Amino acid sequence: MNRAGKGQPGRAARGRRSRLPAAVQATTGVPFLIRAMAFCIFFFPSSMVFKPIGAAGTVPMILAVIVFGLWVCSSIFGLHDPLRVRHPGRLAVGILFLATSASYVALYAGITGGSTEVARASGDRWMILLLASLGIVIALGEVVRSMDDAIVFIRALLAGAIFCCLVAAVQFFFHFNPMEWFRIAMPGFDYNGGDTPFQSRGALLRVAGSTFHSIELAVVSAMLLPLSIWRVIYDQHRPLILRLLGPALLIFAIASTVSRSGILGLITGLAMFIPLLPRTPRLWALLAAPLVLGALFLGVPGLVSTLTSTVTSSDSDPSITTRTNNFPRVEAMVSDRPWLGLGPGNYVADSAIHILDNQYLNATVTQGLVGLVAIIVYLVLPGVSNLMAARSTRDPQLRSLAGAVGAGAIVAGVCSLTFDSMSFPVFALTYPVLVGLGGAVWLMIRNETKSTVRDELYLSPPVPDVGAGRPPKGEGPWTR
């Protein structure tokens, strides 16, 4: 039922749906700086840094910190109310920021021990990352206000991801890394190292695209796959072939990494997202999945055998044994500094077998039990809240968007069990993008719910007064 009474959508639904031509949409809603920041996460290599800033001086990190600075300035000068917009993602990143700040202060005060110049520099990098994450989450929750805004922003984000996947395809088929050209084309930036564009696994060569590592490429691709499928269905102002390119390249990127984490993320994301699609797209997705996977396995020689040996290997695989052997070491380190840890970013592995391929273990060592609780909230609450919100909206477009963002965030939380995710720069900035976008979608659903309640109250017929015609209790002719 609606106010017009003739099947027209309610006010909330009319405000959300994409009605504008593509040329107009590109100029509305989301500022260019925020769209550029999302694209640059994948376009500029994280190994190229602005030397005066150091390892945190990558292009997307600088842009994200600028976004945070502009938000703070607008709050100080009264241009907007910083407390007006509230959502679970904002709460989650705020909790992580407070926990990290406590460990950071303890490091500088010498409470946690090992307060060297190198340790403080690592803590500084972590705080810059947290400020950038705050800027992304807060800004997106405020500037993405409608479905038109969401589509414009998602185009920019997925354009960067498609570029990353194209780089991975070149690396995979030609064994050449195009990202090396950026070392010449970025004056003022220095190569900081740390990236691993190629790794051998079985019969295949694992690639990383424009990310730091093949595992990072696999997980980030799995995080964005539901969002790219959503765009195929609802971004009707772009050609279908262009929209289909996104999911195809992301699936190829996951396969080209030959990563168990990527497979885990792929299964987790689709299992969370597909049930929230409308009926017809859900059936198409279920039918297309085996065909796409079959074409992929046939088109990439050696993929089936390599993936099979990777998934079925157990105690003989060093990548598994090193993960399980780290638990006693972590327990010993945590017992020494249980509450605030060594300090943000201050675990340095003395050898490859001592790398903590688990973000929750890494947070426990570097930020203590306080940091462990905070990282769990940060990596779990946004995804869960979006999936719950998706089930409370009647709009299929909004429900599937909330499901796509929530599924991507859940992938991040699950796959953080298999690698130290926050140590990888592309993941560390892509995840707050999903958190901020999820916050905006959560607010759209909340506003829809409020609008629906108001409409129902306005349209509901008056409740008949069973006592009509009789004087109220305690009143009569003798009391008048």
Check pLDDT > 60 for residue 397.
yes
Q: What is the mean pLDDT of residues 8-23?
A: 42
pLDDT digit string, tens, across residues 176-186: 999 999 888 99
221 belongs to a structural domain: yes
Residue bearing tokens 């500094």: 337
The answer to whether 68 and 134 have CB atoms below 8 angstroms apart is yes
Provide the percentage of residues in the chain whose pLDDT is more than 70: 81
277 belongs to a structural domain: yes
Q: What is the pLDDT of residue 117?
A: 86
The helix (run of H) or strand (run of E) holding residue 189 is: strand 189-191
- Residue by residue, DSSP assigns 329-398 as HHHHHHHHSTTT-S-TT----SSGGG----HHHHHHHHHHHHHHHHHHHHHHHHHHHHHHHHTT-S-HHH
State how beta strands 48-50 and 189-191 pair: antiparallel
274 belongs to a structural domain: yes
Query: What are the two backbone dihedrals, phi and then psi, of residue 443, each rounded to the nearest 5 degrees?
Result: -70, -35
Q: What is the pLDDT of residue 451?
A: 73
Structural domain that includes position 99: 37-306+373-418+425-457
Residue 84: closest CA among 145, 151, 175, 39: 145
Number of structural domains (the chain) is: 1
pLDDT digit string, tens, across residues 27-36: 457 999 999 9
Q: What is the mean pLDDT of residues 422-442?
A: 97
Q: What is the mean pLDDT of residues 342-370?
A: 87
341 belongs to a structural domain: no
397 belongs to a structural domain: yes
383 belongs to a structural domain: yes
Residue 356: closest CA among 334, 389, 387: 334
Q: What is the pLDDT of residue 113?
A: 66
Alpha-carbon span 197 to 189, nearest angstrom: 19
Residue 120: closest CA among 444, 343, 436: 343
Q: What is the mean pLDDT of residues 306-327?
A: 63
Q: What is the pLDDT of residue 319?
A: 62
Range with top average pLDDT, 57-61, 310-314, 349-353, 460-464: 57-61
358 belongs to a structural domain: no
Q: Average the pLDDT over each of 58-62, 213-217, 389-393, 458-462 and give the range with the smallest value.
A: 458-462
- 413 — pLDDT class (breaks 50, 70, 90): very high
The angle, 0 to 180 degrees and rounded to 10, between the axes of the packed helices 32-43 and 117-143 is 130
Q: What is the pLDDT of residue 323?
A: 66
Q: Average the pLDDT over each of 12-26, 76-90, 129-143, 460-474 and give the range with the smallest value.
A: 12-26
Q: What is the pLDDT of residue 446?
A: 93
Q: What is the mean pLDDT of residues 376-391?
A: 97
Check pLDDT > 80 for residue 314.
no
Taking the CB of residue 465, how many other CB atoms lie within 10 A of it? 8
Check pLDDT > 90 for residue 4.
no
Alpha-carbon span 31 to 140, nearest angstrom: 10
**pTM for this prediction:** 0.87
126 belongs to a structural domain: yes
